[in-house]
Amino acid sequence: MSTSISLAKLAEQVIARCRKLATFSEDAGGTRRTFLSAPMRDCHREVSSWMKALDMNVSIDAVGNLHGFYSAASPSAPRILIGSHLDTVPNAGAFDGILGVVLAIELVESLRGLKLPFAIEVIGFSEEEGVRFGVPFIGSRALLSRLDEELLARNDADGISVRKAIQDFGLNPNELSKAALGDDVLGFIEFHIEQGPVLEKLGRPLGVVEAIVGQNRLEFTFSGQANHAGTTPMNLRHDALAAAAEWIVTVEELAQRTADLVATVGYVEAKPGATNVVAGEARATLDIRHASDRARTESLDELIRQAESIASRRAVSVKWRTLLAQNAVAMDPFLTEQIELAAQKAACEPHRMASGAGHDAMILAEKIPAAMIFLRTPGGISHDPAESVHLDDVAKALECGQHLLTQLAASQEFLGRTCRA
């Protein structure tokens, strides 16, 4: 394995590579890279070149996930997946998702050709954020064969479906089944920035994720009657936007009085959207999360009741549809313990914590053992160009990853695992 000096150099390379990938963007002067957009081709080309330099076998599956396969000592050996996502939110930072892919590649580089009793498959998921089609985890869902016809038919803002986006990228949606996990996968490890202030407040570089909170994403549509803003008396209006606005305040009030609940209305659209027209329709998204499935479900039910009550009182109608319904997911206890031990060997006092954000690990955990390692996020800032990491923390993450691979290579308990049916 690498010396501390080379670890520092690898950490510098990790940060430089993340910042390089941030330049592949749909927007000039900022970073936006959505599912199978044109800049994703540049991203694939760059990351593939790093993989190929390490004698990794590179491939892209039918949903656009990038795979780099580093072989084991034996051709018939099982594999472990390490990675994260390559897409971004609008006006993104350089490290969310991408850091986990680049760290995985540098871990392979740190092996310096050493072969382990398992292969390492670095994976860069094509989609996690849900920006282009309003549904997240398209990349990791493909590994579980969870891309149904309804999802493939979803359209983006330009009327392009998921299926058409796949075809336009030069991939074959009829081959999606080939992306599914085989029974030789031992588990999945994801490095990721925390995207919050907890580790920084504690003064710790690394966190050990025990669980990922459950979350629901919905779209509410309030429908009233568009009318002239100057000639329609206030008591005779059926203002869809006013109803949505009252409900949005209700969302905030419920979250503030419910311990550990977070609820966000992040997008609102009014139609026809004219200054002098009472809105006839208003759409609003809801993102609601809690580590307790019961608390989250009860809060969601209450917010639906409140939407119906507000709509009725204001003489408008409301309907909603679910975009995502994900229960809280516990990380694999064995892998979590091994990560904690590896962090200690890297001279880090590990902190066990829950993730308030969703990650690909929560999807893969349905079928294979999955675990996560958080890196401290300076200022707790993420989903913003100011997002950053500390060089020393990246070096510690690499060292932790090295110890983890060594431990797993020596563990008969781990090597005996197989993919769950």
Domains delineated in the chain: 4-213+328-415 (3.40.630.10), 215-326 (3.30.70.360)
Q: For residue 267, give every residue at least 6 positions away whose Cβ sits within 8 Å of its Cβ, in sequence order, or none.
A: 283, 284, 285
User: pTM of the prediction?
Assistant: 0.84
Q: Residue 227 pairs with which residues in a beta bridge?
A: 278
Residue 326's closest CA among 283, 360, 368, 370?
360
Q: For residue 12, give every residue at least 6 positions away whose Cβ sits within 8 Å of its Cβ, in sequence order, or none.
A: 391
Q: Residue 232 pairs with which residues in a beta bridge?
A: none
- Cβ–Cβ < 8 Å for 290, 355: no
d(CA 46, CA 42): 6
Per-residue CA distances from 68 to 18, 104, 124, 241, 364 (Å): 17, 10, 9, 48, 18
pLDDT attached to residue 418: 60
pLDDT attached to residue 2: 46
pLDDT attached to residue 147: 96
Given the structure tokens 């800049």, which residue do they identify? 39
Low-confidence ranges of the chain (pLDDT < 70): 1-5, 418-421
Q: Residue 80 pairs with which residues in a beta bridge?
A: 120, 187
d(CA 407, CA 79): 15
Torsion-angle region of 137 (φ positive above 0: left; ψ -120 to 50: alpha; else: beta)? left
pLDDT tens column, 236-285 = 999 999 999 999 999 999 999 999 899 999 999 999 999 999 999 999 99
pLDDT tens column, 171-190 = 999 999 999 999 999 999 99
Planar angle of CA 356, 212, 418, nearest 5 degrees: 155
Q: For residue 343, give every residue at least 6 positions away whose Cβ sits within 8 Å of its Cβ, in sequence order, or none.
A: 206, 208, 349, 350, 373, 396, 400
